Amino acid sequence: MGVIHPDITKAQTLPSTYYRDENIHLKLMRKFSGSWNFIGLEAALVEGEAIPVLLGDIPMLLTKQGGIINCISNVCTHRAMILCDGIKKVNSITCPYHGRTFSLCGKIKHMPEFSEVENFPAPSDDLPKAKVAIWNGLIFASLNLKESFENYILDVEQRMNFIDFSNLTKDDKLNREHNLFANWMLYVDNYLEGFHIPYVHKGLNSVIDYSNYKTEVYRNAVLQVGYASKGDDCFTLPPEHPDFGSNIAAYYWWIFPNLMLNFYPWGLSINVVMPNGVNETKVIYYGMVGDQNKSGRGAGGDLDTVEHEDQWIVEACNRGMKSVLYQRGRYSPSMEKGVHHFHRLLTE
């Protein structure tokens, strides 16, 4: 695994092998299960429904039964068969291979032809479970029993406590899925710097004051603050807020490893970056709207155009990473603090 110098003025970026090597990719996937992962919106989860989700490359199922939300393994404890390939409305989960049946909280209920097996069923025959936390309607899960969710979300909670989340409504018209032929880390790299905005996003650059663009680094997160150009939509902030008096057009939060929370005056856009092997990535968008009158305006206006512009860049960089003439680069101390922090978290 590579080492990133803590001094950004001396540091080199991740070696290109990080974006190409299957063994490195598998090691990095372990970091997902050791952290909290966003897995869905509470408002989208229906009672008696099983939804396949991933914690990195670990198949899991999101379920709700009796008002309780569970995140359980999507792998049968008999012969490792995947239990559900798509969303199912069920009272129980039955393995399509040999009929082993589980409750929606993962307890084994029945197994054909096992009456003569000693000490069966045992606790190991239940489906393993992840910890689950709900934050303002967002569902998170983790296999790490040590890290508290409160500690994980603390920095976002403190900075964004002026947002009335109860006023945000799930808007399926904003849902998107984008499939990229690129390594997932390149998508995160690109998100974590505003350096490219004047060159790639002409429309966004017209509503963002690039000269005041700011990046702040936290323990497990990066915040980019976009200031509004004169006359464009901005947040109404309370006097006690640290940004009071500033014309903020957007708060762009990245939280390790793969979650982006984009706060705009109209509401919240969520990006979830899902690795699919070394060279493919799925990015899932969710939208929650608080002020329909401001939708389609300002920094959070034309999200589809910004996404397509980013996708072209990220896929081109993925092709470039395969060149034998490129090994690694350097960071801009003023504009790539977030990328530097991400790379250090990956290589710790």
Domain at 87, CATH number: 2.102.10.10
Asked if residue 21 belongs to a domain, the reply is: no
Residue 206: CB atoms within 10 Å = 10
Q: Which domain holds residue 126?
A: 37-149
Q: Which of 123, 149, 175 is the last residue of a domain?
A: 149
Q: What are phi and psi of 84, to 5 degrees?
A: -135, 125
d(CA 260, CA 270): 6
Element of type H or E holding 314 = helix 303-320
Asked if residue 138 belongs to a domain, the reply is: yes
Q: Which of 89, 115, 149 is the last residue of a domain?
A: 149
Kindly state whether residues 145 and 174 are assigned to the same domain.
no
Looking at residue 169, its pLDDT comes to 93
Kindly state whether residues 309 and 180 are assigned to the same domain.
yes
Q: What is the CATH number of the domain that holds 295?
A: 3.90.380.10
**Tokens (6 digits) for 141:** 């899960």
The total number of structural domains that make up the chain: 2
Looking at residue 96, its pLDDT comes to 96
Kindly state whether residues 270 and 243 are assigned to the same domain.
yes
Kindly state whether residues 330 and 213 are assigned to the same domain.
yes
Kindly state whether residues 341 and 203 are assigned to the same domain.
yes
Asked if residue 46 belongs to a domain, the reply is: yes
pLDDT per residue rounded down to tens, the chain (348 residues): 468 999 999 999 999 999 999 999 999 999 898 899 999 999 999 998 899 999 999 999 999 988 999 999 999 999 999 999 998 888 999 999 999 999 999 999 999 999 999 999 999 999 999 999 999 999 999 998 888 999 999 999 999 999 999 999 999 998 999 999 999 999 999 999 876 776 566 566 555 656 677 899 999 999 999 888 776 788 899 999 999 988 888 899 999 999 999 999 999 999 999 999 999 999 999 999 988 777 665 555 567 777 778 788 999 999 999 999 999 999 999 889 999 999 999 998
pTM: 0.92
Kindly state whether residues 198 and 95 are assigned to the same domain.
no
Asked if residue 200 belongs to a domain, the reply is: yes
Asked if residue 16 belongs to a domain, the reply is: no
Burial environment of residue 335 by CB neighbours within 10 A (0 to 12, 13 to 18, 19 or more): middle
